[in-house]
Amino acid sequence: MIEILSFLLAYFIFPGLLFASVLGLLFIGIDRKVTAHMQHRIGPPIWQEFLDFGKLLGKEDITPAAAQGFVFTLAPLIALGAAITVMLLLPINSARPALTSVADLIIIIYLLNIPAICVMLGGYSSACPFGAVGANRYVVQLFSYELIFIVTVLTAAVKVGSLSIGDIITYQAHNSWLAFKLPLATAAIVVAAQAKLLRVPFDIPEAESEIVHGPFTEYSGPKLGLMRLAYAIELFAVAGLITALFFGGPVAHTIAGVQIPGVVSFLIKTFAIVLFTTNIRNIAARLRIDQAMKFFWTIIALIAIVNLIIVVL
């Protein structure tokens, strides 16, 4: 009984729905503010994403007549469910995540793919040509970055010698951060995260000036709000995964006699990664899909595989 209660508590409050959504939407808000200042304007307040979510809940929810309603409605629901489940598997407060399992790195990677699949299915089931093109581009982009993700995560796992994320954090607590030992893999996974989170220069599937928001075109009202919430949680989860794998994860410090829990250092590191991707987002321009795929498959794949070979040998 206690286990079920603690599971529900972890699922809904910390580090599940409430914690992840508040922080995810907050990070996106800060990202918009920083982008605005880099573009020499003032921009929206930090709370803008919360206001957007509330506004979308009050709008009409229209399913197009030609769409397949069942898949169209189901896509945001499963995306949000999978995103929250990933948060349960990440170590937020200490080296032990809320849900432990034997080889959870692979499970995290697979669960992080499920929101992508839901977006693709939603885009195609909306029976809109823009949705179809966006979903098609998303499939190709998934194929590009997936290899890099798997190779870099395998590199970290082979270096530590275990597929469990708790072990990786304990290893980094004793030795230095894995980012110093595997710099090439860190660079590769940050670029792959840029593609996974659909940020410029890889926001080809939802290219706003080309295909009118891609798979999300026909979504409106609460469903669009749920999709954006799932995106926010996914941003937090991917940045959190990179933090846990390569930058040491949650480490509890004691400064001047005050016990600071590991959450604080985790949040600071995650925030730094999000700011770094914001930086790249404002500097670069959007690529074409075959340019992006060639970029991933030649240069980044080379970097990641070189690092894997260095670790294995």
Partner 1 sequence: MIPQAPILAIVVPLFSAFLMPMIGLLSKRYNIDRACDWFAVAAMVGTLIIVASMAPTVWGGQIIVYKFGNWSPPWGINLAIDALSIQMALMIAGLGTLVMVYSVAYMQRDSRRDLFYTLALLVITGMMGTILTGDIFNFYVFLEIMSVASYALIAFRRDSSGIEAGLKYLFIGSLGTSFVLLSIAMLYSFVGSLNIADLGAKLAIYRGAAQPVPTILVASLALFVTGIMIKVAMVPFHIWLPDAFTAAPTAVSALLAGPAAVVGIYWVARLPYLPFGLPVGIILVSLGLLSMIVGVLMALTQRDFKRMLAYHVISQKGYMVLGIGLGTLGSVLGAQGGLFHLLNHSIYKSMLFMCAGAVLYRTGSQKFEELGGLGKNMPLTALTFLIGSLAISGIPPLNGFVSKYTIYLGGIEAGLPIVTIIAVLVSALTFASFFKAFSSVFLGQRPKHLRDIQEAPKLMLFPMLAMAVVCIVIGLFPALGFNVVGPAQAAAENSAGYIGHVIGGI
Partner 2 sequence: MVELVWDPIVATTAILLGSLVAYIILMIGHKITKPRLTPEKLKTYACGEEAKPEETHMDSEQFFSPIRRIFRPFYRYIQPAHTGVLSTYLLWVVVGFIIIVIIIMLTVR
**Residue 304 interacts with partner 2 (CB under 8 A)?**
no
**Choosing among partner 1, partner 2, none, which partner's interface includes residue 214 (Cβ < 5 to 8 Å by kind)?**
none
| Segment near partner 2 (CB under 8 A); pick from 23-31, 99-107, 171-179, 188-196 | 99-107
**Residue 132 interacts with partner 2 (CB under 8 A)?**
yes
Closer by beta carbon to partner 1, 10 or else 135: 135
**Residue 47 interacts with partner 2 (CB under 8 A)?**
no
CB of residue 142 vs partner 1: minimum separation in angstroms?
Answer: 7
Q: Residues interacting with partner 1, by CB under 8 A? A: 66, 68, 70-71, 103, 106-107, 110-111, 113-114, 117, 120-121, 124-125, 127, 132, 135, 139-140, 142-143, 146-147, 150-151, 154, 158, 308, 312
**Residue 1 interacts with partner 2 (CB under 8 A)?**
no
Q: Which one of 47, 51, 59, 96 is in contact with partner 2 (CB under 8 A)?
A: 59
The tokens for 307 are: 């690092």
**Residue 99 interacts with partner 2 (CB under 8 A)?**
yes
Interactions with partner 2, residue window 239-268 (CB under 8 A): none
Contact characters 5-44, partner 2, x per CB under 8 A = ------xx----x---------------------------
CB of residue 262 vs partner 2: minimum separation in angstroms?
Answer: 23
Interactions with partner 2, residue window 193-222 (CB under 8 A): 212, 217-218, 221-222
